[in-house]
A and B are shown apart, each in its own frame.
Chain A
Amino acid sequence: MSETKDAFILTVEDLTVSFDGFKAVNGLNFYVEPNECRVIIGPNGAGKTTVLDLICGRTRATGGSVQFKGQELLKMREDQIVHAGVGRKFQNPSVYEDLTVFENLEISYPRGYSVFGALAFRRDQAVRDRIAEIAEIIFLQDHLQEKAAYLSHGQKQWLEIGMLLIQDPELLMLDEPVAGMSVAERVKTAELLNRIIADRSVIVIEHDMKFVEDIATRVTVLHQGKLLAEGSMAHVQADPKVIEVYLGH
């Protein structure tokens, strides 16, 4: 059993969370392989965002286990989970509005995490080069000195993706990365995401089926906190249960 587990980067077993008796996630099992792009779909209230919250430590699970490269994440603090190599993008763009784009990326640069490390942190050439590199990937190279508050919705989404990229996580979790974007921004984002999911494991929540088809290695369908179906996009789309609760509508 343990040998087969080692093949997975993320092992979610029997994961359960209950809010005042309501089980938002109920006995969920799924396994993510290295370099896989897993897309989670499902109707509203299926518990998709809650699953990501549980993995990254934002919500505490009631029971079960989440193992990332053999480490039990459920016992760790949010920042320790980040250090272990898990990055999370939130549904609403979540950037530091009072800071510039440069400073947003700098804070995310993986060095000087302790209090005294942060005091001693120098903005050296390696930091500047890396920020310049990331800024170009996320189309914000001309906005580095702008306050994040003045960016458009789509640009904020890109900035947050950039803040994750600079951390270079082994597992990247994205919650509706293209929601609320203009058509032009969507196309650019799809291009951006295809670039960044190349050499890492990714879990994405998304409603846009065209987009899901483009990027997914495998698809997990959630319904009422439980696993409804899992497999390739074609397999899932043909599943009558999935058509009934989700795709049919």
Chain B
Amino acid sequence: MTEFPAMATGRDGRFLNRTEAMGAVALALLIFVLLPLALDPFRLNLFGKYLTYAFVAVGLVLCWGAGGILSLGQGVFFGLGGYALAMFLKLEASTPEATKIQSTPGIPDFMDWNQITALPGWWQPFHSLSFTIFAVVAVPVIFAFIIGTAMFRRRVGGVYFSIITQAVAAILTILIIGQQGYTGGVNGITDLRTLKGWDIRTDEAKTALYFVNGGLLFACLALAQFVRRSKLGRILIAMRDREDRVRFSGYDVASFKIFVFCLGAGFAAIGGAMFTLQVGFMSPSFVGIVPSIEMVIFCAVGGRNSILGAVWGTLLVNWAKTSFSESFPELWQFGMGALFIAVVLVFPDGLAGVWKQHVEPLFARLKPRPSAPQPAE
């Protein structure tokens, strides 16, 4: 048969092409070497917190960038993952000895304040760490599966889908705030102390958790890259442009959308759990509409078609947010809004697009290597 030389270096040839591999190495150097060396434990912990949002942004690259499904409610899954772990940590912190001044010792303090006298049944399984780890991922994914099935099977898509995800985020926030006795209300679940006896509030623990977080992020990036490179990744792109045609290529479009939505929810949930561990609490302010939209902005700034770009975008926007809001707390909100408008109007492919269009050609001109083989793609 005819040979296709270009195909050997095509998308099925290697796990990463040269640009992607260099980008991954650069990001790994930043996260695992540069930041830990340059920053004090407090600032490093802050970057660890930013990186937990990057999980959400990477999920959004798959859902929104590749699949064209814009979820404005990813905070729901971030929050569910975070709350699941917070429940475990809260139970560990609420030993009868530690809570003996309460009228009912041995239950979380906020329950006692709300005149609840026994631990509710659905809190009981969260005494077990293995159940909790399972629930961190399973609860948000199952929830995403239910929302996804209900909407995509009925062929709800586009703007309608985005609005409904916003509504879900709003509803969950209201539910958490309203059920103060079971959820900690607007304060969330606070005062978390130890994980299986290991104090998570020390500098050493925070630094260790930072590295665990980085490792998990790279695991998610690898999984995302695997999905993007598979035929499923190409079906997502095909679906984004011509959903109707994909059906006539023999694919059940809804099941692909449900899958990628669940995957994005799973990533967000891992980020949420790591947030709880590193920041030491979880509250409804990370579940609602505003944080969900902020996460979309992180992804858009980084570039919604680039999983590495999404991580860079998250780090940059959050670093800017912290720096600016320290000096101009009022102005920052306007800055964020302006940034989003600028991204949409001026550089729709985000930082990754700017890099690809303007920076890569510069490198190519700096290092002319006529004898070297052309990099793939």
Bind each other? yes
Q: A96-B242, A118-B231, A121-B230 are in contact. Are A110 and B4 (CB under 8 A)?
A: no
Whether a CB of chain B sits under 8 angstroms from the CB of A247 is no
- Contacts A83-B250, A94-B245: A112 and B255 contacting too (C-beta < 8 A)? no
Q: Are B12 and A141 in contact (CB under 8 A)?
A: no
**CB distance A113 to B10 under 8 Å?**
no
Find the B residue at minimum CB distance from A89.
B248
Interface string of B226-237 (1 = CB under 8 A from A): 110011101101
A128 to B10, CA, bound (A): 13
Cα(A97)–Cα(B202), bound, Å: 53
A97-B227 contact in complex given A103-B234, A115-B232, A115-B255, C-beta closer than 8 Å: no
Please determine whether B231 and A128 come into contact, CB atoms closer than 8 angstroms.
no
A144 to B238, CA, bound (A): 17
* B contact residues around A58 at 8 Å (CB): 244, 248
A79 and B252 contact, CB distance less than 8 A: yes
**Hey, which chain B residues are within 8 Å of A48, CB to CB?**
none
Cα-based distance from A120 to B235 in the complex (angstroms) = 13
Q: Among A79, A102, A125, A167, which residue has its beta carbon within 8 angstroms of that of B247? A: A79
The distance from the CB of B247 to the nearest CB of chain A, in whole angstroms, is 4
CA distance A242 to B12 in the complex (A): 54
Partner of B6, one of A106, A112, A133, A145: A145
**Within the assembled complex, what's the spacing in Å between the Cα atoms of A110 and B249?**
8
Cα(A113)–Cα(B19), bound, Å: 31
**Known: A132-B1, A132-B2, A145-B6. Contact between A118 and B230, CB under 8 A?**
yes
Which residues of A, 50-89, contact B by the 8 Å Cβ criterion?
Answer: 56, 58, 77-79, 82-83, 87-88
A123 at the interface (CB under 8 A from B): yes
Check A145 against B227 for contact (C-beta < 8 Å).
Answer: no
| B247 contact set on A, CB distance < 8 A | 77-79, 82
B366 at interface, CB cutoff 8 A? no
Instruction: State the Cβ distance, B243 to closest chain A Cβ, in Å.
Output: 11
Question: Which residue, A88, A110, A128, has most C-beta atoms of chain B within 10 A?
Answer: A128
The closest CB in chain A to the CB of B4 belongs to A144
Asked if A82 and B248 make an inter-chain contact with CB atoms under 8 angstroms apart, the answer reads yes
If A96-B238, A96-B242, A114-B255 touch, whether A132 touches B4 (CB-CB below 8 Å) is yes
- The chain B residue with its CB closest to the CB of A110 is B250
Q: Which of B4, B248, B252 is A56 in contact with, Cβ under 8 Å?
A: B248
1/0 per residue B1-34: CB within 8 Å of A?
1101011001110000000000000000000000
B74-117: CB near A (< 8 Å → 1, else 0) gives 00000000000000000000000000000000000000000000
Taken together as a complex, chains A and B put the C-alpha atoms of A144 and B234 apart, in Å, by: 15
Report how many residues on chain A are interfacial, defined by Cβ distance under 8 Å: 43
Specify which chain A residues have a CB less than 8 angstroms from the CB of B252 in the assembled complex: 77, 79, 113-114
Q: Are B259 and A107 in contact (CB under 8 A)?
A: no
Contact assessment for B234 and A107 in the assembled complex, using a CB-CB cutoff below 8 Å: yes
**What chain A residues lie within 8 Å of B245 (beta carbons)?**
90, 94-96
Interface string of B201-242 (1 = CB under 8 A from A): 000000000000000000000000011001110110110111
Give the nearest-CB partner of A77 in chain B.
B252
**B7 contacts across to A, CB distance below 8 A:** 102, 128, 144-145
Inter-chain CB contacts under 8 Å: number: 104
Q: Are A98 and B2 in contact, CB atoms less than 8 angstroms apart?
A: no
How far in angstroms is the closest Cβ of chain A from B32? 29
- With A58-B244, A128-B4, A145-B7 in contact, is A113–B237 under 8 Å at CB? no
> For A102, what are the chain B residues with a Cβ–Cβ distance below 8 Å?
4, 7, 10
Within the complex, the shortest CB–CB distance from B65 to chain A, in Å, comes to: 12
**Nearest CB on B from A233, distance (A):** 29
A148-166 CB contacts (< 8 Å) to partner B: 163
- Decide if A49 is an interface residue (CB 8 Å cutoff): no
Is the CB of B256 closer than 8 A to any CB of chain A? yes
Q: Is B251 part of the binding interface, using a Cβ–Cβ cutoff of 8 Å?
A: yes
Shortest CB-to-CB span from A16 to chain B, Å, is 23
CB-defined contacts of B249 to chain A, threshold 8 Å: 82, 107-108, 163, 167
Most-contacted residue by chain A among B4, B241, B244, B248 (CB, 10 A): B248
- With a CB–CB cut-off of 8 A, which chain B residues contact A83? 250
Check if A46 is an interface residue, CB within 8 A of chain B. Answer: no
A108 surroundings in chain B (CB, below 8 A): 249-250
For B227, give the chain A residue with the smallest CB separation: A119
Residues of B within 8 A of A106 (CB): 231, 234
Nearest CB in chain B: distance from A87 CB, A = 8
Residue in B2, B234, B240, B249 with the greatest tally of chain A CB atoms within 10 Å:
B249
Closest Cβ–Cβ distance, residue B212 to chain A (whole Å): 27
Q: Is B234 touching A99 in the complex (CB atoms < 8 A)? A: yes
CA distance in complex: A7, B12 (Å): 45
Partner of B232, one of A95, A119, A123: A119
Shortest C-beta distance, A151 to chain B (Å), equals 15
Interface membership of chain A positions 184-215, coded 1 if the CB is closer than 8 angstroms to chain B and 0 otherwise: 00000000000000000000000000000000
Say yes or no: A79 contacts B234, CB within 8 Å: no
Give 20 pairs: A residue, B residue, CB < 8 Å, sorted on A.
Answer: A79-B250, A79-B251, A79-B253, A88-B248, A90-B245, A94-B244, A96-B237, A96-B245, A98-B240, A107-B231, A113-B252, A115-B232, A115-B255, A118-B235, A118-B251, A119-B232, A121-B232, A125-B1, A167-B249, A167-B250
Q: A77-B252, A119-B232 are in contact. List 6 more A-B contacts (CB 8 A).
A: A99-B237, A106-B231, A144-B4, A145-B4, A145-B6, A167-B249
Give 5 closest A-B pairs by Cβ, nearest first. Answer: A78-B247, A82-B250, A121-B231, A118-B232, A96-B238
